[in-house]
Amino acid sequence: MQTASRLILRLVVAAFSIAAVGSLQAQAPDWLFVVQDEDNISEVRNGNTLTFEAEGSGDLVTQRLTITYQGPVDTLGTVNDPSLGGSTTFAVTSGPTLPRQLGPGQSVDFTISFLPTNVGPFSSRLDFGLTRSNFGRPNITTNVLLNLSGLVADYSLSYQLPGGNEILIPDGGAVPFDDTEVETTQTATIIVTNRGSGPGTVETVNVDGGVAFSASGLQLLPAEVNAGASLRFSIIFEPPQEGAFMGSAAITFGLGSRSLNLIGAGVAASFTYEKIIDGQSMPVMDREAISIPPAAVGEETLFQMKVTNAGSLEGTIQRISVAGTGFALDDLPVIPQVMDPAENFTFTVKFTPPEPGETSGQLLIGDARFDLIGVGEGSQLTFSSATESGSSELRPGETVVFSQTPLGLTSETTFSITNSGNAAQAVSLVGSTGASFSLLNLPTLPLSLEQDQTVSFQIVFDPAGPGPQSGSLSIDSSSFPLSGVGGDPAPLPTVTIGGPGGKADPATQVEATVELAEPYGLDVTGTLQLDFSSDAFSNDPSIQFSTGGRTVRFRIAEGQTKATFTNNDETVRFQTGTVAGSIALSATLEMDRSSVDLTPDPEPELAYFVDQAAPVLAGLSATRTGAGFNVFATGFSTARSVTSMEVSITADSGKTLDTSRFDIDVTTPFTAWYTGGQSSSFGSGFTATVSFILSQGDVLDLQSLTVTATNALGESAPITINAPE
């Protein structure tokens, strides 16, 4: 006990030493009184009041009183038995055995308790006798009186509806809300009043209201409510539908709790609906589908709708409308229509089928919605077009569009005719126009399409040329434009001009062919052309095809690889001529019956080369003259040059010649020949005449003649003939 007193002393001195000195010197300088409750420590003086606040009757409240002796070091202080007078709700419930002597700085503790039996208020007083003993001097006695006050909180609950009086609620009682229209609100104010003698605490407020009740306006809890004051909050009742609703609320205090029940009813106008078909009435629910009796296309069918206010309040129908092709309303009431409970009205829904099969609509009555299903009786053709990429429905007059298709290839779509009605339909005519369009797999006509039956055929697009192509498809009285675009044809496979190529002999014929590396999907025509580039500064008109001219036409049939020329030959010949130079064969190709160029880039070519060479003698003859003979030599020189001719004469047996070999310079006449305009028609061909006159002897004495021709590139092969007779 001594240790605890010293601990309290240090705490008190540290916290209150300045205040203690000033107050006790004025009243009882030898003694310090400090009181501590749950939350506070404070110094009290002689005549002060200690207040005890209870949360309710039976709530035990205590305070600890510490008395410290502060006399001189050569004195002692004595605490005598206290006296307690007044209300018996107060008591000193713990403390030391008294009287008790204290040295300077020593303390004693007492516990003062308050246990109320009702709401009070209560009062009492506590009187302490204190003595200071002075050694060798008279004792000094001090009386300290503390007043005790007890306050008790006590609560009442009440509620108040709008425009009503405040009504007390017993614990477990009910707050009855007035009937409230669905999805509107009513508010009750809950009043928690502290009717006791002291403050109290509202700890929590919990409302368990389900879907209909909720709390509003609650301040931050816990909250202190002084005596005579109130705490208020609201409970909102919002019924989501018709019917009775219950909830509860629980309020806890510093001591104890109260509960109350919440009671309310939701009321509303409530509409019911009936369909009347052929005099028979059947209820229908909001969002339910209503099937209408079928009718032939263009004819009318109908039914009635009956609307009744089956609710507990007056209600209003703000709108009645119908949507959907073929649906209409008749015999409508005045809108908006105000209806008392149990009141009803009827109106008519009409349906005229616009086409065979099922037609959907929607009927709105206020906030209620009904799906309408009507059936028209009759046949109806529907059309669709399908490709690998998908299908689409078509109406008469809409275009069947084909993707761009390269020339030589085809695109197709499957066109389907379906009887979507519920009666048979005859189809008599199916045809197409347009050079690029054709029909395949047509059904046998006329035919009868039953309900849900489908027939199909193919429309083939084979572009007749590049660019937009058009046509039309006719199915009895229905017409569908056809449209497509012819694209560039696929590139040709590799084109080869056949032949050895390279060096070619002059004055010969060479075969040429044209061939594709693989078959092609179109008929192809083309031109094979000869071009000559002279190395001897002169053209040679003899360089040409065997058919004449330097161009020749050919054709490659679809699916074939080899070209055919005149007379369906797969080869064509050309003459190499007698002039040195290069001969180029080239081919251009195009689509048959069109101007679309198919020639590869670069063009197919084949080159031949005729070299400049020594002269060539092709023929030799001789004729007698009066005194001699003439020698006629024919040949050609690819270099268009002859410089000399040698004539060798062999005498007959037993005869001799003075001169048997003659070297003749022919440069001048050959130069004149090749540079003159006349020779260009003969390439490098020539006929040379050499005349001989015998000075003695007779031509008959000659046996043979041998001739050679020479230019800068060499000498020709000799030609020998018999001497002329």
Check residue 28 and give its pLDDT.
53
Q: How far apart are CA 267 and CA 29, in angstroms?
A: 77
Q: Are residues 244 and 288 in the same domain?
A: no
Query: pTM here?
Result: 0.47
Check residue 702 and give its pLDDT.
87
Q: Are residues 244 and 179 in the same domain?
A: yes
Confidence check: pLDDT of 22 > 50: no
Q: Are residues 260 and 290 in the same domain?
A: no
Check residue 13 and give its pLDDT.
29
Stronger pLDDT, 169 or 25, i.e. the higher one: 169
Confidence check: pLDDT of 242 > 80: yes
Q: Are residues 48 and 120 in the same domain?
A: yes
pLDDT, mean over the chain:
90
Residue 423 pLDDT level (bands cut at 50, 70, 90): confident
Instruction: Tell me which residue range forms the domain holding 226.
Output: 155-267
Number of H helices, E strands in the chain: 2, 62
- For 592-601, write each residue's pLDDT tens digit: 877 789 999 9
Q: Are residues 275 and 261 in the same domain?
A: no
18 CB contacts (<8 Å, ≥6 apart)? none
Which residue, 105, 136, 152, sits at the end of a domain?
152
- Angle at 213 (CA atoms; ends 212, 219), nearest 5 degrees: 155
Check residue 504 and give its pLDDT.
95
Confidence check: pLDDT of 541 > 80: yes
Q: Phi-psi region for residue 388, left (φ > 0), alpha (ψ -120 to 50) or beta? A: alpha
Number of domains in the chain: 6
Q: Are residues 505 and 474 in the same domain?
A: no
Check residue 120 and give its pLDDT.
86
Check residue 361 and give its pLDDT.
94
Q: What is the mean pLDDT of residues 92-105?
A: 91
Per DSSP, what are the bridge partners of residue 513? 498
Residue 110 pLDDT level (bands cut at 50, 70, 90): very high
453 CB contacts (<8 Å, ≥6 apart)? 418, 419
Q: What is the CATH number of the domain that holds 514?
A: 2.60.40.2550
ω into residue 99 within 30 of 0, thus cis? yes
Which residue, 106, 127, 152, sits at the end of a domain?
152
- Cβ atoms 227, 198 nearer than 8 A: yes
Tell me, rounded to whole angstroms, the distance of Cα 161 from its chain centroid. 56
Q: Are residues 39 and 143 in the same domain?
A: yes
- For 639-671, write each residue's pLDDT tens digit: 999 999 999 999 888 888 888 899 999 999 999
Q: In the structure encoding, which two tokens stand for residue 380, read together?
A: 């109806």
- For 684-702, write each residue's pLDDT tens digit: 999 999 999 887 777 778 8
Q: Phi-psi region for residue 464, left (φ > 0), alpha (ψ -120 to 50) or beta? A: alpha
Q: Computed from CA positions of residues 534, 540, 543, 548, in that sequence, does the dihedral angle turn out positive or negative?
A: positive
- For 167-204, write each residue's pLDDT tens digit: 999 999 999 999 998 889 999 999 999 999 999 999 99
Cα pseudo-dihedral 366, 368, 373, 374, rounded to 10? -20
Q: What is the CATH number of the domain that holds 165?
A: 2.60.40.10
Residue 316 pLDDT level (bands cut at 50, 70, 90): very high
Q: How far apart are CA 292 and CA 371, in angstroms?
A: 11
Q: Are residues 455 and 542 in the same domain?
A: no
Q: Are residues 418 and 464 in the same domain?
A: yes
Lowest mean pLDDT among 23-37, 313-327, 509-523: 23-37
- For 552-588, write each residue's pLDDT tens digit: 999 999 999 999 999 899 999 999 999 999 999 999 9
Q: Are residues 72 and 147 in the same domain?
A: yes
Kindly report the backbone phi and psi dihedral angles of residue 20, in degrees, each rounded to the nearest multiple of 5, phi listed first. Answer: -65, -40
Longest dimension (CA), the chain: 211
Q: Are residues 229 and 213 in the same domain?
A: yes
- For 124-147, write each residue's pLDDT tens digit: 999 999 999 987 788 888 899 999
Which residue, 246, 267, 288, sits at the end of a domain?
267
Q: Are residues 515 and 638 in the same domain?
A: no
Check residue 26 and give its pLDDT.
36
3-state secondary structure labels for all residues of 533-556:
EECCCCCCCCCCECCCCCEEEEEE
291 by Cβ neighbours in 10 Å (0-12 / 13-18 / 19+) ranks as middle
Kindly report the backbone phi and psi dihedral angles of residue 511, in degrees, each rounded to the nearest multiple of 5, phi listed first. Answer: -85, 145
Confidence check: pLDDT of 498 > 90: yes
